[in-house]
Chains A and B, each alone.
Chain A
């Protein structure tokens, strides 16, 4: 029973991971019209699904090395997931791209802190694996994308517009697909790792066993479903809110994201896909002469990134405490039910000011949800 609740929470987290991060790969393609919105999310969903199956040697256990593995119980995993899940949904409501891995790590750290004390959390590992990369990822991506965008405009300045539009449209679709595939491979693994961790903690499988096939299939499916549902609010912020994007910029941004993500994954630097992609889009804005980056939007994003770890940790800690106070499986089930109610309320609030595939590209007037009169189908 407890295990079932943990697995359901993990899959729910995986789902929000998908729909939060659709924007990373597809926001620029949607904003430039390289792909129609529904086609873009469908393509990204398929590639995420495929990506999830591709690299299975080690389902990276996200919390390993950051908290003492002896401190991890099913309730801690559950509370950590809830912390990550809450932060994902809250930032989605405000349309802010935010790292799902940081949210999950924050949740697990918070739950561990209150369950087992400060000694079970490895502070140095948090700095090295979470905080330093969080600062570096956007900086790297801004550098690469600014240079790439600058070069692209320099080189193709004299090219007739119809050539340019078609060529970069193709390039953009290709590079965005690469980002989607990499996302599926890296991010679905995190949830697989969490579920495997829970199965081991529950002695359902041995510590040396690999990830069961049903876990892989379930994770791939839920991240793909989430991607397909599409976090339109986040897509709108990244594609329209941060800067106005043209096709060559979109291509340079996705090329930069793909290169930095793949290089980071190869050299073992744990950069967040979200931070890289947001940085790339900013760089694409900076690299084109006179293009503006809306710094207020960028500032809100940076603030959210700073808050991710502590906010998810607080929620994770609260979830653990709540479950522990009531006690046993009933406690976990109660916390789960309360969380589900809160999430439902958030969805209801979001549906009052909806952002969908219809109005995602409406002109940015400073607010996330476009005014209904300005809505135009695309």
Chain B
């Protein structure tokens, strides 16, 4: 390991950042899109709402995990 640069931490932060930062943001957007389709479609889609709930739940869980790892140090 180079004394000037912690490569190990580096790629972990990049991967975690991409998964949580871009990934969860996309999941939230997906939940929103599905919810909108279920609400505005011709008939009610209980399945759509369930998918939306799962999406938002995943985002909340991600935020919770983020808080947990920050505070558990």
Where the two chains meet, the residues of A that have a C-beta atom closer than 8 Å to any C-beta of B are 54-55, 57, 124, 127-128, 132, 136, 140-141, 143-145, 147-148, 151-152, 155-156, 158-160, 163-164, 167-168, 171, 174-175, 178, 181-182, 185, 248, 251-252, 255-260, 262-269, 271
Contact = CB atoms under 8 A, between A and B. Distances in A.
Given A148-B21, A260-B21, A55 B32 contact: no
Interface string B1-22: 0011110011011101111111
A147 B22 contact: yes
B3 to A, nearest CB: 6
A375 to B, nearest CB: 34
B16 A255 contact: no
Contacts of A262: 20, 66-67, 69-70
Contacts, number: 141
Contacts of A127: 4
A55 B24 CA distance: 25
Give chain A's interface secondary structure class: helix
Give chain B's interface secondary structure class: helix
Contact of A163 (B36, B63, B71): B36
B21 A258 contact: yes
Contacts of B6: 128, 268-269
Of the candidates B18, B37, B59, the one having the most CB atoms from chain A within 10 angstroms of its own CB is: B18
Interface of B: 3-6, 9-10, 12-14, 16-22, 24-26, 28-30, 32-33, 35-37, 39-40, 59, 63, 66-67, 69-71, 73
Given A151-B26, A260-B21, A263-B20, 8 more contacts: A158-B33, A167-B36, A178-B66, A252-B25, A263-B66, A266-B73, A267-B9, A269-B9
B73 A265 contact: yes
A260 B17 CA distance: 5
A265 B19 CA distance: 16
A268 to B, nearest CB: 6
A174 B28 CA distance: 12
B58 to A, nearest CB: 13
Contacts of A271: 13
Contact of A54 (B10, B20, B71): B71
A136 B10 contact: yes
B8 to A, nearest CB: 8
B29 A151 contact: yes
B38 to A, nearest CB: 11
B17 A144 contact: yes
Contacts of B40: 160, 163
Contacts of A140: 13-14, 17
Contacts of A265: 69-70, 73
Nearest to A150: B22
